[in-house]
Amino acid sequence: MTPRPLAAAFLLGAVTLASVPALAQALQKSLYVSVVDKAGAPVTGLGPADFVVREDNLSREVLKVAEADDPIQVAVLVDNSSVARDQIPYLREAVPAFIGGITSANPRNQVAIVAFGERPTILADYTSNTADLKKGTDLIWSRPATGPYLLDALFETAVGIAKRESARPIIVVLAAEGQELSYRHDEEVLDQLVKSGAQLYVLMIGRPFNSINEEARSREHVIGTGPERSGGAREQLLTAISLTSRLTRLADQLTHQYRVTYARPQSLIPPEHVTVAAKPVGLTAYGAPAKDPQARQ
pLDDT (tens digit, 0 to 9) for every residue of the chain, 297 residues total?
444 443 444 444 333 333 344 444 788 999 999 999 999 999 999 999 999 999 998 999 999 999 999 999 999 999 999 999 999 999 999 999 999 999 999 999 999 999 999 889 999 999 999 999 999 999 999 999 999 999 999 999 999 999 988 889 999 999 999 889 999 999 999 999 999 999 999 999 998 877 778 888 999 999 999 999 999 999 999 999 999 999 999 999 999 999 999 999 988 788 888 999 999 999 999 999 987 654 433
The full set of domains in the chain, from first to last, is 8-68+258-289 (no CATH), 73-254 (3.40.50.410)
Residue 145, sorted as left (phi over 0), alpha (psi -120 to 50) or beta, turns out to be: left
d(CA 278, CA 6): 7
SS3 for 215? helix
Taking residue 220's Cβ as centre, other Cβ atoms within 10 Å add up to: 17
Q: In the chain, count of helices (H) and strands (E)? A: 6, 14
* Of 156, 9, 28, 148, the residue nearest 91 (C-alpha): 148
CA count, 13 A, side-chain hemisphere, 40: 15
